[in-house]
Amino acid sequence: MVEYHDEKYDGSGYMHGISGEQIPVNARIFAIADVFDALTSKRPYKLPFPFEQTIQMMEKDAGTHFDPDIFRVFKKMAFDMYREISGAEEDQLMQMLDKLIIRHFFKKLDLQY
């Protein structure tokens, strides 16, 4: 996933210059999440963009940078996730992450956490 997340849907990305369905689906999903996080997060060099502005900026790149079908699904669920996560304290986020890790990784493998 990490190796391919800088590929762009139209083939203009890097490391391999692949496009569309050639890009692994998990990397296409990660590319959207990565850009969304970068735009909505405070960084040492910038303030966070508001949610609506972020979506508008990313919409312009659906079909070039991002898989348009995956972005369409992301857009439908993004606000609810953003509202839940952006207002949470660090300990709440850790509890949410622990639940997801257990549900998606440990329960299916019948492992102890």
Q: Is residue 10 situated within a structural domain?
A: no
Within 1-113, strands assigned E span none
Total of domains in the chain = 1
Domain that holds residue 76: 20-88
| 48 belongs to a structural domain | yes
φ and ψ of 62, to 5 deg: -70, 125
Inside any domain, residue 75: yes
Task: Express each pLDDT in 46-86 by its tens digit.
Answer: 999 999 999 999 999 999 999 999 999 999 999 999 998 88
pLDDT at position 109 is: 56
Judge whether 97 lies within some domain: no
- Whether residue 72 is contained in a domain is answered as yes
Give the global pTM.
Answer: 0.81
Sequence letter at residue 112: Q
CA 73 from centroid of its chain's CA atoms:
12
